[in-house]
Structure formats: structure tokens, C-alpha cells
Amino acid sequence: MYNPPLPPTVSERSTTLFAYGSRLQPIRSGRFADAASALAWIGGAAATVGHPAGLAVAGVLLGIVATSVKRAVAAGVSFGITVAAGVVVLAVTGATPPAGGFTPVEMIGLALLGPPTAAAVVRALG
């Protein structure tokens, strides 16, 4: 079977689909990686407080600053567990604010599935 020679840029390609991954390397593993991760958490939490779609925003931000797909999923899961715990506390105390028409059970499901999925997709792409 004939295998055509590949240009060096294709054979040396990283595991991501897009080329911007190498430009984000200083943010992911450089001097300010912890600060970038903390800002992603804060930005995601602020977006989630404003609207349930903020869970996807949090996942995207966490996926951008993650060093690998596994770490992106782990960050998304930990964020989702934190939000789900907050929803449980608010539901138990009876202080549940309106969340775009979602019940607390639906919000817990969204919190546990949304951020890890968005983070994994974003990290896999770049």
C-alpha cells in the first residue's frame, strides 16, 4: 500500500485540531497558569450566577486553560460538583432563585454534565 510522504507540519502536529494550542501554552503551563485557572473559575461562577448557560461558559473557560483533555474534564467535573452542591444548599434552605425556568434537579443535572462536556470539547479542539 502506498503511503504518500507527509509534510513535516502534518507529521509533527500536536494532539489538538487547531493551531492556536501552542500559543496558549504559556497560559496553560507557564508562570500564570494557576491565576488563569482561578480566573476561569471566577468567570464561570459569575456567568453561572447570571444565567444557567454560564455553565457552558465555565466549561469553555476551564477547557481553554487546561493542559490536557483529562484535566479539562476534571476541572469541569469539580466545577459542576461545586455548583451542584450550591444548588442543593439553596434548595434545602428554600432560597432557590429563579434559574431560567429550571428546577433544582435539572440544574444539578446541567451542572454535572455541562461544564465537563464543554471543557473536553474545547480542549480537544485546541
* Mean of pLDDT values over 45-73: 91
pLDDT band for 11, please (50, 70, 90 cuts).
very low
Sequence letter at residue 120: A
3-state secondary structure of 71: helix
pLDDT band for 10, please (50, 70, 90 cuts).
very low
Kindly list the domain boundaries of the chain, sorted by start residue. 17-125
Nearest one of 7, 16, 5, 2 to 121, comparing CA atoms: 16
Q: What is the mean pLDDT of the chain?
A: 83
pTM: 0.77
8 Å CB contact between 76 and 115: yes
